[in-house]
Chains A and B, each alone.
Chain A
Amino acid sequence: MKLTLKIWRQANSEAKGNMITYPIDGVDGDMSFLEMMDIVNEGLINKGEEPVEFDHDCREGICGACSMMINGQPHGPQRLTTTCQLHMRKFNDGDTITIEPWRAAGFPVIKDLIVDRSSFDRIQQAGAYVSVNTSGNTQDANSIPVEKAKADEAFHSATCIGCGACVAACKNASAMLFTSAKVSQYALLPQGEVEATDRVMNMVRQMDMEGFGNCTNTGACMIECPKGIKLENIARMNREYLKAETLG
C-alpha cells in the first residue's frame, strides 16, 4: 500500500509548527497505525532526520497514551478503538492521511504529535478519589451493598482511559465528557457520596481553570470516545453540580 502522509511537525512547545508531507510505501493492511508510524520513523532515522514524536505505551487500547487526530477524527475513522488498535486495512492504496496532535488550549503541544495532558491529571487530583482510612482495618469489599445497575454504570464510567479524544473531537475543546465520567464513577457509588459536593465543585472549577471550552451537547465526544463513555455522564455531572451549589 502506498500512502501520502501529511504530518504536523513542531520542534518544541515554543516553535511554530507546520504540516510536512511524507510519501510512504510498503504499508501492510495488517499493520497497526502506530506500526506504520514506526516505519515512517525508521525511514526518517535512516536519512538522518528527526523522527516524528508521538505518544504510545501499551499498544492495546488500555493506557490512553496514543493520541492522534487522523483525517479530522480522534483515533481515526474506526469507532471504539484507539489509534494503536486502528489497522491500516481501514485505508486504501493511494490515500492521503492527515495526522495532527489534539488541538486545545488545555492540551499544549510539546513536540510534533505529543501534547501535554497533565491538565487531565490536575482535574482528577481535584476530586476524583475516595478518601479511605488505610490504617490496616480493610473492610470486606461487599460490606456496603451496591445496586447492580449502578455498579455497572459506575464501572462503565470508570473505563475512561483519559486519552483526550473527547476534547479533540469537540468543536469547543470541552473536557466535560472526561470530567463527568470521573465524577460519575464515584457519584453512582455509596462510597463516593461523602465527598460528592466537594468533588464536583473542585473538579469543575479545575476543568474551567485549565482553559477547556463549554459543552454545547453536540455529542461528538461520545461518538469518538474509544471506550464509548456516554453523554449521560455530562447530564449527571450537571445534576451533581446543581445539587452541590444549591444544597451544599
Chain B
Amino acid sequence: MSALVKSSLARKWVMALSGLFLVVFLTQHFVINITSVFAPDTFNEISHFMGYNPMVQFIAQPILIIGLIVHFIMGIVLELKNRSARPIKYAKFSGNANSQWVSRNMIITGLVVLAFLGLHMYDFWAEEIGYKYISANPEDPTRYYEELVHKFAPFWRTIIYVIANVLLAMHLWHGFNSSFQSMGAKAINKGDGLRKFTYAWSVIIPAGFIFIALFHHFSHS
C-alpha cells in the first residue's frame, strides 16, 4: 500500500479524485445559485438550509475544504516534481504544436482560481461565519437573496467574477476530461461521448456563474 501513496500514478489519482469531487460540488453550487435568477424565495430557502443544516455545516463543508486543500497541495507538489524532472530547459520549445495551452498551464489557471476563491470566501463564507458565530445574529431565512444582489452591485467585483469563471472554464476544460484519463477510464478513449460531455460541462457551469453575476449586476443597477 505504501507504493500507492508514493507512486506517480497514485498522485494522479489523488489529483483526479479531488478534482472530480470539486466538479460535483461546483455543479450543486450552480444548481442552487441559478434559482436566484428566477425564484428568489427558493434561493433563500435552499441557502438557509445549507447555512444551518448540521450535516452540511459540520460534515459536508469540512469535506469540501479538505478536498480543496488536497487538490491544491497535490497540484503544487506535482508542479514542483515536474519542474525538477527537466533541470535544463530547452532553448526552444514548441508546446503549441502538440498540446493545448490550457493543458500545459493548469498551475496558472489553478492559482488564479485559488486567488479568486480567497475573494469569494471573504465575500460569502467569512461574512456568513461572522453573522452566525461572531455577531450571533438570529436566524433570518429571507436575507440571502438580498445579500447576493448587494454583492454584485459593484462593477469591479462583477468583472472579477466573470474573469475568474473564464479561468475556471479553462481549468475545467483540461482537468475534467483529464481526471477520467488519470483514473484509467476506458470510456475517455472509446468514442467521443465522455470527452464531449466534459468539455460541454466545463463551459456550461462557469458560463452559468457568469450569467448569474451579470444578471444580478445589470438587473439591479
Contacts and interface: CB of A to CB of B under 8 A. Distances in A.
Interface of A: 6, 8, 19, 69, 71-73, 77, 98, 100, 103-106, 169, 171-174, 176, 201, 204-205, 207-208, 211-220, 223-224, 230-232, 234-242, 245
A218 B90 contact: no
B181 interface: yes
A100 B92 contact: yes
Interface string B1-27: 101101111111100000000000000
A213 to B, nearest CB: 3
A213 B81 contact: yes
A214 B86 contact: no
Given A223-B98, A235-B186, A217 B84 contact: no
**Interface SS majority for chain A:** mixed
Given A73-B98, A204-B7, A238 B82 contact: no
B166 interface: no
B221 interface: no
9 contacts: A8-B91, A69-B92, A73-B97, A205-B3, A208-B6, A213-B85, A214-B12, A214-B78, A214-B85
B86 A173 contact: yes
Interface of B: 1, 3-4, 6-13, 78, 81-82, 84-95, 97-100, 103-104, 106, 174, 178, 181-186, 188-189
A18 to B, nearest CB: 10
A218 B103 contact: yes
Contacts, number: 139
B88 A242 contact: no
Contacts of A77: 97
The 10 closest A-B pairs by CB, nearest first: A213-B85, A72-B94, A239-B184, A238-B184, A172-B82, A223-B98, A72-B92, A217-B178, A218-B99, A213-B82
Given A236-B184, A238-B12, A245 B1 contact: yes
